[in-house]
Amino acid sequence: MFNRSKENTESPIGKTNRIVEGTVITGDITSQTDFRLDGKLIGNFTSTGKLVVGPNASIVGDVEAGNVDIEGSFEGKLNISGLLSLKSESTVKGEMIVGKLSVEPGAEVTATCKMQNSSGTKSLTAAKDVKTA
């Protein structure tokens, strides 16, 4: 009668999951919070938050997220509703569907890219074997 179960009232906003360097995950990850990957993921990643792929990290699989920063390597399909930021050390192979795209000089991109916004989708197919200098 007096034992009320405590509900989890903590909000996931402002919290970040982290997979450290040297860790290999084979399988899919789903997260409601921001996520930093410094290890290796062989599988798919889904989140409404932000994903940061560290400089020594790699992903082989598909990613669907709100925003993504890539410093390491990625191979697969990226479906990013917000900003995809490719840092100068990054290597990306596959397909990108993004709301916004930022590419630093030095990033290696071998991918197709579709820019999406509220009024439709625009295809950018000029990104064959592009290395920004």
Rounded to whole angstroms, how far apart are CA atoms 93 and 108?
A: 8
Mean of per-residue pLDDT scores for the chain = 86
Report the chain's terminal Cα–Cα distance, integer Å.
69
Contact status, residue 42 vs residue 25, Cβ threshold 8 Å: yes
**pLDDT per residue over 80-119, tens digit each?**
999 999 999 999 999 999 999 999 999 999 999 999 875 5
- Average pLDDT for 21-38: 95
The pairing of strands 108-117 and 130-131 is: antiparallel
